[in-house]
Amino acid sequence: MKHSKLKYFAEFDANAISYDYSAHIECLKNPQKPQYGGGIIINPELNQGLKGWSTFGHGKVEHRESGGNKFIVFHNRNRPHDSVSQKLYLQKDKLYTFSAWIQVSEGNVPVRAVFKTISGYKHAGAIVAESKCWSMLKGGLTVDASGPAELYFESNNTSVEIWIDSISLQPFTEEQWRSHQDDNIENMRKRKLIIQAVDEGGNPLVNAKISIEQKRPGFPFGTAINKNILNNNAYQNWFISRFTVTTFEDEMKWYSTEYTQGKENYSVPDAMLQFAKQHNIAVRGHNVVWDDPHYQPSWVPSLSPTQLGQAVQKRLVSVMSRYKGKVIGWDVVNENMHFSFFESKLGNNTSAKIYKVAHKVDGRATLFLNEYNTIEHSGGSSASPAKYLRKLREIRSYPGNSGLPLGIGLEAHFSTPNLPYMRASIDTLAATGFPIWITELDVDKQSSQEQQAQYLEQILREAESHPKVQGIVMWAAWKPGGCYRMCLTDNNFKNLPTGDVVDKLLHEWGFKSKASGTTDSSGFFETSLFHGDYEVKITHPVLVNSTFIHNFKVMPPNEPKEKTLLLQVSA
């Protein structure tokens, strides 16, 4: 068997996607044009006065113009929902992507977009609107029943005027939505490959047999594990036969490694890391500290501020220096948009300071802000995309933090998924340019295992197909007494319906895929492969050793239009 020379070339191809993934996170002097020309919204740019728009609740609506830009202003508001509205007809089998540009008369004020439907109120998203500039609210919704609906905007701050412009509501059929996903997976997760087999003289090998096998997928996909895996061969075999990345459920957390103050014990996470390394499984560091007061080591709450500051510093250096270079990223201050234990004890800038120290300890690691209800909940939660962006800016604006390698960690603990909102929220966060991971994906128990599996498949497809998502970790670590919210197997490691969904999608997404064929008259063989590590075998009668084996990688192109990879194999 002989080694070969490998040459890589590139061709260019165009790619068009009908869904608009763009989002603006800057506050602009003038709003942009409405996406999709406004979709089904009447008079979306307000160029026809108040046509199509009316009052919702109490207050006054007026049409204004500034610098050639026309917009709606609603003032004299007494209740949060007092605003302008438009009546629409929404269909149950459609997915609606929504956007609008919002401004308020003073301050920084959360504003929500709401649809009153025949089966209840549906939130489409929220923004922290500012005065003197326009902010883009991007969201989406589905409805439980077809019928009339009314769009309006609300804010708990009734003293401000709400200004609205460039509104868009674009429906997509389920088939169109699925086509967005399939097209993205084909275009973003795969690459066309042309192999040319030539002999030592550069002459093409005609009718050579080509056999290609994936050795490792390129897209990180996995699930959490816990210490139960260390001594359970069935658990190990089930896990390592499917996944390439993991997160430890509890074993790396502070309350696990320093149960008693001053007595650190890393034996369990050490063993789990050794297991992961042995099987080439990447590990996310979870977590350095957790801002939830209920999940501190039992001895921490009673510490004085000085003692707590010292303990946090010791924890940071201890865990991060120990696992430096052994994890692919860190959840640094876990869930510090929902909770503020350390801030309440040590001051408002505590999180930013912790991220700064974390970068000093492990300068090459991505430092994640890990949160829930950012893509799951459309009602303007404390971790909404707009507030998430503000927290990122707050961390980076702290002296010395401007260049921090931050990452966006989206826990994705779903009940009933709102896919248009999920997609739009990721669009908004993607505008930062920071890497985005789905970090703890699960689906709460439903009326049946089949419905839970159905929702899981919908969410996984949406996550895998979003062009800016760089990895997915499910939160389904197995325990004999049951998983956190979602199991993939029973206690004999036989797949549950959720596990069957995972295997189905792994197969669809090219896990351990194979391709074969013969070269043409010019020695070429063409196929399309998911990103990953591959082995190719080339067999031809004229070759001295009959078969050549080459290992190669299929990587995302350096340029968006660079689609085709040409691999020339020279004997």
Question: Computed over its alpha carbons, how large is the radius of gyration of the chain?
Answer: 27
Residue 367, SS3 per DSSP:
strand
* Catalytic residue, candidates 440, 457, 462, 464: 440
Report the relative pairing of strands 436-443 and 469-474 from DSSP bridges: parallel
Amino acid identity of residue 281, one-letter, is: I
DSSP structure string for 382-419: TT-HHHHHHHHHHHHHSTT-TT--EEEEE--EESS--H
Amino acid identity of residue 124, one-letter, is: A
Taking alpha carbons only, the member of 522, 518, 513 closest to residue 539 is: 518
Report the relative pairing of strands 5-12 and 413-414 from DSSP bridges: unpaired
Distances (CA, A) of 18 to 168, 176, 554: 15, 9, 26
Alpha-carbon distance of 268 to 248, in angstroms, equals: 10
Residue 350, SS3 per DSSP:
helix
Residue 30, SS3 per DSSP:
coil
Looking up tokens 């950012």 gives 374
Alpha-carbon distance of 11 to 473, in angstroms, equals: 33
Are 216 and 533 in contact, with CB atoms under 8 Å apart? Answer: yes
462 is catalytic: no
Which sequence positions are flagged as catalytic?
Answer: 440
